[in-house]
Amino acid sequence: MTVERGFPAEEFEQRTKRCQAEMADQGIGAILVCTEPEVRYFTGFHTPFWQSPTRPWFTVIPASGKPIAVIPSIGGASMSATWIDDVRTWSSPAPDDDGISLLADCIREVAGDGAIGAPMGPETHMRMPLRDVDRLRAEVAEFVDVTDIISGLRMVKSEREIEKHREVCGLVSNAFDELPNLLATGMTERQAFAAFRAEILRQGVDDVPYLVGATGPGGIDDIIRQPSDRIIADGDLLIFDTGSTIDGYFSDFDRNFAFTHASQGAKDAYRAVWEATEAGLEACRPGATTTDVFAAMNEVLKVNGSLGNDIGRMGHGLGMQVTEWPSHTATDDTVILENMVLTLEPGLLWEPGKAMVHEENLVVRAAGAELLSRRAAPELPII
């Protein structure tokens, strides 16, 4: 493993200062964040402990100075090891007041006359009981939506973040390259999933939080499925889509394979999504929009007889979550900026009930898209 772990304090300083510049422009005195990626973005606090729904965790970004952590005491030692100086803890779980009065005091202390921001828009949620959200708003103030500030920050990656993406995408590319040696007809889907998961880990990723896939005779109808005891047979198509992580940064790309043989329809559909990805790579430049990228890929799919798809978009941002803002849709219209890390994910129904989805990961550079995943073969691979 060559990639640097964690980030130096200057990374968090830069994130915080960029945030505070936006806050000043919008007259916001404090921002409250409470989800895992938001808290990690500003503090560096990194633990899977968030899977436990028991305790809320808060971070307050003041108009100037370092963020303040308001967290359960079980996290005090870990949070104190980050760049954060002001760590305020309470013993949680405490159902009658699970940090709310401590948090309210903190927000009142730092917000001054400024508005209080919280992400309230697309792709966000408040990870705390709704009862406590309402109580906090009643005690302190209504929130102003700052989804645009947070998404604007997180969509553009630093070189250190990009290196983590590059590392994990390389390792997962290696694992996909090994797949023909790992899989064979006669295995169950569950065995195939287990073999692939073990291989990705063997390559050196930290974890494989996201692994979906499916097999089917001549094609597959669903791309977010968990494995079954179905036995892989001659003529099956298989898709694996994985989000794996290094240091909490994701890869997210898929690969399609056929076993022993494939129909011309399947081969043509594969070629169509591969060509659509080429068009997406070409379109993905600073100054273009996500809608331009969508349109470029969609045109290729239409020409190739797509019957549509039910995914709702053709790729998205990538970061500390397996999907992040923005989305390549017909209406998203987010301006693409240098150092965004994005996926391209064109998909089509090539026959009723038969889907083909292709996905690559890239970073946007001044000159255009730079691949992070190793480009898939242009023709459907047959195992």
x-or-dash pattern for a second copy, window 109-128, by CB under 8 A?
---------x-xxxxxxxxx
Q: At which residue do the structure tokens 């090994």 appear? A: 178
1 binds a second copy (CB under 8 A): yes
Residue in 154, 157, 316, 358 binding a second copy, rule: CB under 8 A: 316
Q: Is 27 left (phi over 0), alpha (psi -120 to 50) or beta?
A: left
| 190/261 with CB nearer a second copy | 190
Measured CA to CA, the distance from residue 297 to residue 300 in angstroms comes to 5
Look at the alpha carbons of 68, 74, 80, 83 in this order and tell me if their dihedral is positive or negative. Answer: negative
Q: Which DSSP helix (H) or strand (E) runs through 325?
A: strand 324-327
Residue 145 sits in the site that holds a second copy (CB under 8 A): yes
Residues 75-94 close enough to bind a second copy by CB under 8 A: 75-78, 89, 91-94
Q: DSSP secondary-structure letter at 186?
A: T
Query: Judged by CB under 8 A, does residue 366 bind a second copy?
Result: no
Residue 7 burial (CB count, 10 A): 18
Q: Min. distance of Cβ 71 from a second copy in angstroms?
A: 11
Is the Cα torsion angle 3, 6, 7, 9 positive or negative in sign? negative
Q: How far apart are CA 26 and CA 206, in angstroms?
A: 39
Regarding 26 and contact with a second copy (CB under 8 A), the answer is: no
Between 190 and 375, name the residue whose CB sits nearer to a second copy: 190
Looking at 8-16, 200-208, 276-284, 337-345, which segment touches a second copy (CB under 8 A)?
200-208
192 binds a second copy (CB under 8 A): no
User: Any contact of residue 2 with a second copy (CB under 8 A)?
Assistant: no
Question: Does residue 304 contact residue 257 with C-beta atoms inside 8 Å?
Answer: no
Which helix H or strand E contains 155, and what residues bound it?
helix 147-155
Choices 12-20, 47-55, 254-262, 338-346; region in contact with a second copy by CB under 8 A: 47-55
Ranges within 246-305 binding a second copy (CB under 8 A): none
Shortest distance, CB of residue 263 to a second copy, whole angstroms?
Answer: 21
Say whether residue 323 binds a second copy (CB under 8 A). yes
Minimum CB distance to a second copy smaller for 278 or for 348:
348
352 scored as a contact of a second copy (CB under 8 A):
no
For residues 98 and 278, which CB has a smaller minimum distance to a second copy in the complex? 98
Quote the CA–CA distance of 240 and 255 in Å, as a whole number.
Answer: 6
Of the candidates 316, 311, 337, 335, which has an alpha carbon nearest to the alpha carbon of residue 326? 316
Q: To the nearest whole angstrom, how small is the minimum distance from the Cβ of residue 40 to a second copy?
A: 11
Query: What is the separation, in whole angstroms, between the first and last Cα of the chain?
Result: 30
Residues 228-257 that bind a second copy (CB under 8 A): 228-229, 243
Question: Look-up: residue for tokens 């026959």?
Answer: 351
Q: Which stretch binds a second copy (CB under 8 A): 60-68, 190-198, 263-271, 276-284?
A: 190-198
Determine, following the binding rule CB under 8 A, whether residue 55 of this chain makes contact with a second copy: yes
Distance CA 341, CA 122 (A): 19
Rg (CA), the chain: 22
Q: Judged by CB under 8 A, which of 129, 218, 235, 286 binds a second copy?
A: 129
